[in-house]
Amino acid sequence: MIRFSDGFLSTIRDRIPLSDIVGRRVSWDRRKSRPAKGDHWACCPFHGEKTPSFHVDDRKGRYHCFGCSASGDHFRFLMDMDGLSFPEAVEQLAGEAGLSMPAPDPEAARRQQARLKLNDVLDLAATYFERHLHAPEGQHALTYAQGRGLDESVRKTFRIGFAPDKRDGLIGFLKSHDVPAGDMIDAGLAIAPDDGARAPYDRFRGRLMVTIEDMRGKVVGFGGRVLGDGEPKYLNSPETELFRKREMLFNGQRARQAAHQSGRLIVVEGYMDAIALHRSGFQEVAASLGTALGEEQIALMWRFTDEPIICFDGDGAGQGAAHRAIDRALPLLKPGKSLRFLFLPKGMDPDDFVSQHGPEAFEAELGQAVPMIEALWARETATLDVSTPERMAAFQTNLSRIVAGIEDATVRRHYDQDLKDRFYAIRRAMRQAQNPHSSRPAGRGRSGDVPGLAGVQTRKAPSLVTPELQLLALASHFPDSAQTFADRDVFHLCPDAELARRLEVALQGRTESSDPPAEDEIGLDAMPFPILKQQASPRFVGMLFSFLFAKLELRAIDDDAASMLAMEPDAIDEQMMERLVAIQDESRAMRAQIAELERELDEEASVMRSLAVKASG
């Protein structure tokens, strides 16, 4: 790969104003922009908005959106907007700037020359296969292709051909064009016998051939489908200098621009499925070449769009492929970058579905694609058994293990909270099923229910300003935001059953007129962030709810640890010790999460105070 010096990149930036590049995709806001000073504003091209919050500064050569936080320079804009790689973006802008690309080092030049040579060999092979599809010996292959709906236009687009069932048909053709046998082998077109005594022979024989191209549209390999009986049903080119399956997407070069225009990328397992969808009008479709999705492929997909739709067959193999994709993608997740999943009816692949039901029905199916968190949860709960405390603990531990594998801290925190919410919802549903006539957990009640205390008038000591009291005050002042957290298991988090009941009612946006005034009611002045008494944004209020719930969860975790530590040493076996270690790890993770939330709250509060000062001035 060519290494670009800072001086070369700076020259490109100096010769081409960033506003010239961005201006091809946006309309500048005349009221806010000051072109003479290189200051430009527009509606963001990366997300829908009605007021311009996308800023381009020609002096700095940077852009930033104050709505979605997209930012970067000349090259990043083309990479994110058009799905180009960094070298492709540099090459495009260097051409516009009238600059020649820097020469690679001698070894890189040698490798590049070898790759170009193999590209020529593979292009010759594609021509050979195309010709034989229309020759007499390829008539049955042409009939098969037509039966699969591959008309002349599709066959030309994907360079579909036929490999005659001959030992050295392609080899003889390439020899006539002075291609050495070593190049045929290096390109994956011929196989050299292990004994070395026999001559090489054609890799592809008696198959319908599909040409595989890279992101530049250069031929890098082939996929061959057997006609009639035979194994394997599909045969791809082997790994070569040009063809690395885990780094490529079939039809990627066509799908890239279509995906940027539609904001959607459909990824299927095989190239015949991709061709079928492309033929049916879905231009933004690519295929994984029959392999499990690799990290490089996922990164490539995210250059096309933020949430590609992974479409798998509805059978067990499709489910297994989806599960592998989830495991591969989880560590790679970033803010705004994820996957969605579409599972077709059992026994159907995309080709079958669109042939039987039509493009409109498939479009409707795409609308049912589920976010990755839903596919993950469906997998983890497909055979869920939490009938005992031990099984419930195992389920919770497995969820924690899954979350721990996510490398991005922000995404990891949100996944952790979402999965905990779902986990506690299961706990709450089980408790309500066991005690359907009460919203309180079994074993908890008011003092009047306790034998010996009936009729006795008691007065509680003044309460501390606990997180649950702060949540109660927050919910009473911001009921709309509170309802977002209505499914939290407050009875698990609050030891005071009456306070838990009141908090549950407040989070659900309900009021109970029969409730007497509470002595422990607090106002916003007792909250940790005084900015609430001025003008708090919904985002800030939601963050504060999350912060207070995290403090309740930490308290519950620490209570569990304290209970175990209070036990007699002889009563703690090896399994309990492992559980204690896990609880302590969970406590440390929760403390780190709370610290991060508090930092974010401080930053948000600072922003709100600054805005308030500007507004008053």
- CATH number, domain of 291, equals 3.40.1360.10
Domain end call among 183, 215, 243: 243
- Rg for the chain (alpha carbons), in Å? 31
- Both 313 and 228 in one domain: the answer is no
d(CA 601, CA 599): 5
Same domain, 523 and 413: no
Q: Residues 285, 389: one domain?
A: no
In a domain, 313, yes or no: yes
50 and 136: one domain?
no
Domain boundary residue, one of 71, 96, 121: 96
Q: Which residue has the tokens 């407040």?
A: 506
Sign for the CA dihedral angle at 440, 443, 445, 448 comes to positive
The reply to whether 467 and 580 lie within a common domain is yes
Rounded CA-CA distance 319/339 in Å is: 15
The two structure tokens encoding residue 33:
């922009």
Residue 1 lies in a domain: no
Same domain, 321 and 418: no
Q: Is residue 455 part of a domain?
A: no
> In the prediction, which pLDDT does 105 show?
63
The domain tally of the chain equals: 5
Least confident segment among 120-124, 180-184, 367-371, 554-558: 554-558
Three-state SS for 213?
strand
pLDDT at 520 over 80: no
The pLDDT tens digits of the residues spanning 322-360 come to: 899 999 999 999 988 999 999 898 878 899 999 999 999
Answer yes or no: do 561 and 611 share one domain.
yes
Determine the structural domain holding residue 312 and report its residue range.
247-380
- Vertex 516 angle, CA 514 and 521, to 5°: 130
Residues 467 and 612 in one domain: yes
Q: Which residues pair with 163 in a beta bridge?
A: 207
CA quadruple 241, 246, 247, 251: dihedral sign: positive
Of the candidates 526, 507, 535, the residue with the CA atom closest to the CA atom of residue 604: 535
Residue-wise pLDDT for 580-607, tens only, equals 777 777 888 888 888 888 888 888 877 7
Examine the domain organization and report whether 410 and 361 are in the same domain: no
Bridge partners, residue 62, by sequence: 57
484/593 same-domain check: yes
Residue carrying structure tokens 């009640």: 445
Task: Let me know whether 262 and 395 are in one domain.
Answer: no
Both 236 and 273 in one domain: the answer is no
DSSP 162-173: EE-S-SSHHHHH
Assess if residue 527 is contained within a domain. yes
- How large is the average pLDDT for residues 357-386? 93
Residue 379 has pLDDT above 60, yes or no: yes
Residue that is last in its domain, among 192, 209, 243: 243
- The pLDDT of residue 443: 36
